[in-house]
Structure 1
Amino acid sequence: MASRSSSAGGGAKTRVGRYELGRTLGEGTFAKVKFARNVETGENVAIKILDKEKVLKHKMISQIKREISTMKLIRHPNVIRMYEVMASKTKIYIVLEFVTGGELFDKVAGKGRLKEDEARKYFQQLINAVDYCHSRGVFHRDLKPENLLLDVNGILKVSDFGLSALSQQVREDGLLHTTCGTPNYVAPEVINNKGYDGAKADLWSCGVILYVLVAGYLPFEENNLMALYKKISKAEFTCPPWLSSSAKKLIKRILDPNPKTRITIAEVIENEWFKKGYKPPTFEQPDVSLDDVYNVFNDSVDSPNLVVERREERPATPLTMNAFELISTSQGLNLGSLFEKQMGLVKRETRFTSKCPANQIISKIEEAAAPLGFDVKKNNYKLKLQGEKSGRKGHLSVATEIFEVAPSLYMVEVRKAGGDTLEFNSFYKSLSTGLKDIVWKSSDEEANNGVGIVSC
């Protein structure tokens, strides 16, 4: 989450327009998200990079245009902002607000559950954001805690409009017809595939999120997908006993399996439980032009958005990460979350430190990954591990990169690049067994564990 321009050792630099690209924050089938810095203002941003060839090959132009249009239309304090769109001959660059407070999911996972007053604060911000999106004809369609980020001040920001739908997609029957989203958070009418009201479906997802915040677990959870869908269709769930009666009533009115009788957002805002301490958001609503959205697909040299990606040769040493860059990898400025102390506690990415030489770390990862059925590709101090077997969401792909954070101290980042998150969790637990000899622990941790400090 940091650029390398200030790093000692002359790390490689890639410039796109006025932005200098840094480490990869995440990646998917059609896009990669990188940390970047505006060299003119010093502002940190996130840049979503899409490959034009892949977009064209998979006939994704309309979907990508829709995503960009969605982000340009939204100007709200509780929604990730899109600053600008650029394009080169081969790529599309979407410049987004960069937030450092982590996912709301992490806050719930850390505490087990939130107190009602704290949960209400986040739920109010979520409803404010969703209500505004709907007023602009935008439906998110994949609302879940992982897509709710927090800024450094703890303000909620809704992200990832990759599965959103503009009102123009509504058919003559007034309904949307694309089944998408994450199963545990999806409304029953979406699963039934008979068309659905995007606003009502989004509110159902908000209800599931509220339940998770106050309960600490999902209302609908089954290992078998059909059993899960059956529970969702009948809204079979029980509120935990510690909830107030007003919170229980609101959750039950939102998680109504019949969209026609389900509470509306306008009614939620007037609800007794919701209104406690409620402050409507204040923000500007500027007119937004979508002209540049269509220009990004224009290969003409006269296009005002055409940029060139300038890249310097990467040195054959691990990139050095300075103190600020190291802090920016944590959630907010909480240094305690920089490195997981227990290697098994991972989601979509994790990190560990090592005092072993970088080459030895690379060799050890290769050695540990091979018996697990993974093909390893090296690019200096980056590794791409590709699973040989297809899983629930295709082949599991894992990206690994090594950073020097101090003399003879390296940070190793391991993240899911493709495939299923649960399968990544299982893979990492197995991989970590083969890496235990290279993981560095503090003297306090070693004393508690009764193990000698690893020295390479």
Structure 2
Amino acid sequence: MAAAAEDKCGVLHGKYELGRMLGHGTFAKVYHARNLHSGNSVAMKVVGKEKVIKVGMMDQIKREISVMKMVKHPNIVELHEVLASKTKIYFAMELVRGGELFAKISKGRLREELARNYFQQLISAIDFCHSRGVYHRDLKPENLLLDEDGHLKVTDFGLSAFSDHLRQDGMLHTTCGTPAYVAPEVIAKKGYDGAKVDIWSCGVILYVLLAGFLPFQDDNIVAMYRKIYRGDFKCPPWLSSDARKLITKMLDPNPNSRITIAKIMSSSWFKKSVPRSLRKNEDEEFSFSGDKAKEEVETLNAFHIISLSQGFDLSPLFEEKKKTEKEEMRFATTKPASSVISKLEEVAKTSNFSVKKSDSSVRLQGHESGRKGKLGISADIFTMNPSLLVVEVKKASGDTLEYNQFCSKELKPALKDIVWTSPTEHSTPA
């Protein structure tokens, strides 16, 4: 039983009735569930806190929640809400009943018209993600679901990244993804463009849809990586000339010359029989109007996402930290990143710290040596949605006690007027 969140009748938070298990992975189980208020069915993904904390995956869980709240699109599985107890996190998600696209492919290659239909929906979803600064980074048929009407739905944003995660060179650097679908520049570990990596994976998916097997195959993973790195593959003879051209441009091992999504969508193969709902001029359907964006912030104000019940220290749901010797703190704000950075610069100026900054991070470096050298503090700014940021402040160097004293006596009071608190809270956090 998940603390007080789930009662003896299998009812979660008095709102969802849990049913049979639909599937499970290493860190999560997925159940059929019914919303007792609306009667609608959902897929309830249940993640054990202790397990993900132990393997250091909590940031990945938080990122997945943040991303799924941002990307509302007909071809992306919708996250309805997130609930939590002391031991578990519950994702109430759109129930997609048609299974994985992988199951369909495992029976053999698809007709070109059907493959094109799925591919058009995939590209529409990924183009939308990229327009929001979100890169999936683990696209494969197992992460593409089909509903009862055969509509494709992208899922599993656990390895996704925001444009905020780019380093100073403008690139992402985390090595991730599934080997057979991963782009050569990710293998090279030299930094990569998240959009171009997703395009490569979409190219592998298109090849698999049309061919019925992978373009880069080898029992030896090192040999397979060599093939990927060289772009060493052959198209089977039954592929049409236009399909071959498109796949070859998508599986270009040079990311600088690899085809863009805009050019994919304007290619003759892609444009053939494009469903009306996917045409570019109807993209407004998927974007937030001002009012819609406001609604999103209001749902987040209760912070069902990560139970942000106080302005400062937003992590009690996820981390059992000791009361002493904390080396990080978090706070939420509706102010722009520039305001956060300005505040931190003011603190640095009055406290004899030097400052290094970028658009989404600030580093404060003390000039005087303490018990364990000079105190260094880093602050990273994460976008939850266009109107809401979470700032994570960490000790980068120096003594933990000195860091905690600095935070409580100087940093928190200075940040007080930009820290967001729920309208339901009547007291100001200390």
Shift of 1:142: 0.6
Unmatched runs of 5 consecutive residues or more in structure 2: 1-7, 311-315, 318-430
Question: Structure 2 residue aligned with 1:84, among 81, 85, 94?
Answer: 81
User: Between the two proteins, what is the percent identity of the paired residues?
Assistant: 59
Instruction: Tell me the equivalent position of 2:213.
Output: 217
Counterpart contact for 1:184–1:218, Cα < 8 Å: yes
Instruction: Tell me the equivalent position of 1:109.
Output: 106
Instruction: Tell me the equivalent position of 1:251.
Output: 247
Give the TM-score normalised by the residue count of structure 2.
0.64
Instruction: Tell me the equivalent position of 2:397.
Output: none
Question: Structure 2 residue aligned with 1:199, among 192, 195, 199?
Answer: 195
Shift of 1:33: 1.7
Hey, what's the Cα distance between the residues in 1 that align with 2:76 and 2:159? 15
Shift of 1:113: 0.8
Shift of 1:31: 2.2
Hey, what's the Cα distance between the residues in 2 that align with 1:109 and 1:131? 26
Hey, what's the Cα distance between the residues in 2 that align with 1:30 and 1:273? 40
The answer on 1:28 being equivalent to 2:38 is: no
Hey, what's the Cα distance between the residues in 2 that align with 1:236 and 1:141? 21
Instruction: Tell me the equivalent position of 1:267.
Output: 263
Shift of 1:27: 2.5
- Cα distance 1:292–1:236, how it changes in 2: closer, same or farther (>3 A)? farther
Question: Structure 1 residue aligned with 2:306, among 293, 296, 305?
Answer: 296
Task: Name the SS of the counterpart of 1:35 in structure 2.
Answer: strand
Instruction: Tell me the equivalent position of 1:188.
Output: 184
The answer on 1:154 being equivalent to 2:150 is: yes
1:218-273, Cα deviation, whole Å (9 max, x unpaired):
10010000000000001111111111111100000000000000000011011111
Task: Name the SS of the counterpart of 2:173 in structure 1.
Answer: coil
Counterpart contact for 2:64–2:157, Cα < 8 Å: yes
Counterpart contact for 1:69–1:293, Cα < 8 Å: no
Hey, what's the Cα distance between the residues in 2 that align with 1:266 and 1:284? 17
Instruction: Tell me the equivalent position of 2:45.
Output: 48
Unmatched runs of 5 consecutive residues or more in structure 1: 1-11, 301-305, 308-456
Read off the aligned partner of 1:227 and give its amino acid letter.
Answer: A
Read off the aligned partner of 1:156 and give its amino acid letter.
Answer: L
Instruction: Tell me the equivalent position of 2:230.
Output: 234
Instruction: Tell me the equivalent position of 1:174.
Output: 170
Counterpart contact for 2:147–2:153, Cα < 8 Å: yes
Q: Which of structure 1's runs of 4+ aligned residues deviate more than 4 A?
A: 290-295, 297-300
Read off the aligned partner of 1:70 and give its amino acid letter.
Answer: V
Hey, what's the Cα distance between the residues in 2 that align with 1:48 and 1:127? 26
Counterpart contact for 1:31–1:48, Cα < 8 Å: yes
- Cα distance 1:261–1:284, how it changes in 2: closer, same or farther (>3 A)? closer
Instruction: Tell me the equivalent position of 2:66.
Output: 69
Pairwise CA RMSD of aligned residues?
2.0
Hey, what's the Cα distance between the residues in 2 that align with 1:42 and 1:294? 21
Read off the aligned partner of 1:91 and give its amino acid letter.
Answer: K
Counterpart contact for 2:43–2:92, Cα < 8 Å: yes
Shift of 1:210: 0.3
Hey, what's the Cα distance between the residues in 2 that align with 1:242 and 1:36? 44
Counterpart contact for 2:185–2:192, Cα < 8 Å: yes
1:51-106, Cα deviation, whole Å (9 max, x unpaired):
22333333333221111000000110000000011112222111100011111111
Question: Structure 2 residue aligned with 1:140, among 136, 140, 153?
Answer: 136
Task: Name the SS of the counterpart of 1:42 in structure 2.
Answer: coil
Task: Name the SS of the counterpart of 2:106 in structure 1.
Answer: helix
- Cα distance 1:292–1:266, how it changes in 2: closer, same or farther (>3 A)? farther
Give the TM-score normalised by the residue count of structure 1.
0.61
Shift of 1:22: 1.3
1:353-398, Cα deviation, whole Å (9 max, x unpaired):
xxxxxxxxxxxxxxxxxxxxxxxxxxxxxxxxxxxxxxxxxxxxxx
**How many residues are matched?**
290
Counterpart contact for 1:65–1:293, Cα < 8 Å: no
Counterpart contact for 1:86–1:93, Cα < 8 Å: yes
Counterpart contact for 2:82–2:91, Cα < 8 Å: yes
Counterpart contact for 1:49–1:92, Cα < 8 Å: yes
Shift of 1:119: 0.7
Read off the aligned partner of 2:188 and give its amino acid letter.
Answer: N
Hey, what's the Cα distance between the residues in 2 that align with 1:192 and 1:292? 42
Point out the more displaced range, 148-157 or 29-38. Answer: 29-38
Hey, what's the Cα distance between the residues in 2 that align with 1:255 and 1:34? 37
Higher relative contact order (CA 8 A, sep 6+): 1
- Cα distance 1:223–1:75, how it changes in 2: closer, same or farther (>3 A)? same
Hey, what's the Cα distance between the residues in 2 that align with 1:141 and 1:116? 25
Hey, what's the Cα distance between the residues in 2 that align with 1:273 and 1:29? 39
